[in-house]
């Protein structure tokens, strides 16, 4: 957790691909093996996995709803709306999100050492976890809101996942 640039710094792509191959082909995987000692390889593999999902963790069908919710001016209404949207996700998406965001909150707790603030984590994960079904001309504008959604979930994790 204290490695500088955790999730922001890229790992060696060839090594990430080797790790990916082992995971995808159900080969015996020992993360204590020296080949995976660079934490940026492991974090890079996780980011790659999430980025290449056919449907993002926040499904395409929910994209516009989350973007609309983050634009709500009233903070308490915005918070309830985002919490309700997270609760409405399919169970596999919801449960994966809960575990992933719990981990990312732990990363942020070490921001003094790893320099990964809420904003930094949101910049890394926003476009990966929440993206439209088709790339549109207003991609840059979407990215701002995608990052804000991730920031909001990180900042309100205990409210969104109360049993978490």
DSSP secondary structure of 23-45: HHTT----TTSGGG-SHHHHHHH
* Per-residue confidence (pLDDT) for residue 47, from 0 to 100: 95
* Per-residue confidence (pLDDT) for residue 164, from 0 to 100: 56
* Per-residue confidence (pLDDT) for residue 74, from 0 to 100: 98
Instruction: Report yes or no: 12 and 38 within 8 Å, Cβ to Cβ.
Output: yes
State pLDDT tens for residues 121-134: 999 999 999 999 88
Residues with Cβ < 8 Å from 63, sequence gap 6 or more?
Answer: 130, 131, 132, 133
State pLDDT tens for residues 3-56: 998 999 999 999 999 999 888 887 788 888 888 889 999 999 999 999 999 999
CATH number, span 55-160: 1.10.555.10
pLDDT-derived band at 160 (thresholds 50, 70, 90) equals very high
Instruction: Report yes or no: 13 and 41 within 8 Å, Cβ to Cβ.
Output: no
Kindly list the domain boundaries of the chain, sorted by start residue: 1-52, 55-160
* Per-residue confidence (pLDDT) for residue 137, from 0 to 100: 59
Q: Which residue's structure tokens are 């991730």?
A: 150
Any alpha helices (H) in the chain, and if so which ranges?
13-24, 39-51, 60-70, 75-87, 91-109, 111-114, 118-129, 139-155, 157-160
* Per-residue confidence (pLDDT) for residue 161, from 0 to 100: 96
Instruction: Report yes or no: 145 and 67 within 8 Å, Cβ to Cβ.
Output: yes
State pLDDT tens for residues 142-153: 889 999 999 999
CA–CA separation, 99 vs 129, rounded Å? 13
State pLDDT tens for residues 41-72: 999 999 999 999 999 999 999 999 999 999 99
State pLDDT tens for residues 98-108: 999 999 999 99
């Amino acid at each position: 957790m204290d490695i500088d640039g955790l999730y922001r710094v890229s790992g060696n792509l060839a090594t990430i691909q080797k790790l990916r191959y082992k995971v995808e082909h159900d080969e015996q995987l020992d993360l204590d093996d020296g080949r995976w000692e660079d934490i940026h390889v492991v974090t890079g593999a996780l980011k790659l996995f999430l980025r290449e999902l056919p449907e993002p963790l926040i499904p395409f069908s929910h994209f516009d709803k989350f973007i609309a919710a983050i634009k709500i001016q009233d903070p308490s209404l915005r918070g309830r709306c985002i919490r309700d949207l997270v609760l409405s996700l399919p169970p596999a998406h919801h449960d994966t999100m809960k575990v992933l965001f719990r981990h990312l909150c732990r990363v942020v707790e070490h921001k003094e050492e790893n320099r990964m603030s809420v904003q930094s984590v949101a910049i890394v994960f926003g476009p990966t976890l929440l993206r439209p079904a088709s790339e549109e001309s207003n991609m840059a504008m979407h990215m701002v809101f995608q990052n804000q959604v991730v920031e909001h979930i990180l900042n309100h994790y205990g409210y969104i996942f109360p049993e978490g």
